[in-house]
Amino acid sequence: MSRPRKILLLTFVAVGAALLWRSQHAGLAEQKPGLDEAALLTQVSDALNARPRLIELGSDSCASCQAMVPVLADLREQHGPGLQVDFIDVWKHPDQAEPFGIRVIPTQVFQGPDGTELARHEGFLAANAIRERWADLGFPLPSNSPKP
């Protein structure tokens, strides 16, 4: 189990224990406004299911961006459950691209499960180089392919 998954699992256990304690001691103190148990469990569940994200910022009219299309398809196919792969067309959706402050297309942004930017690359990047970058960042990508 990867380190981020272990941390999320421990967080889930701690939140569960806190909820159990709270339910058993509900009458001891006045409850303060905030998240209810269902909302808290939803947040914990979302955190446990969080996965690293690769965001490709480019355009369908850019040759290097078009060369990335099969790379992104390969990553989705090989690592679907373990990696979220998104494409943002910077000309069609400038409002979505603007927060990334890109200078060149294509640009790949590597985000951790919590949404923190871990790295970025400008220009074409092959699938194996992307896999290596994820491994270097501490997120080796599990493969969907059956092992021989």
pLDDT at residue 35 is higher than 90: no
Q: Could you tell me the fold of the domain covering 53-136?
A: Glutaredoxin (3.40.30)
The two structure tokens encoding residue 74: 């390969």
| CA nearest neighbour of 65 among 100, 103, 104, 96 | 104
The half-sphere exposure of 106 on its side-chain side, counting CA atoms within 13 A, is: 27
What pLDDT is recorded for position 14?
57
Cis bond leading into 106, ω under 30°? yes
Average predicted confidence (pLDDT) for the chain: 81
Average pLDDT over residues 70-90: 95
Q: What is the pLDDT of residue 143?
A: 79
Percentage above 90 pLDDT, the chain: 59
8 A C-beta contact, residue 133 and residue 110: yes
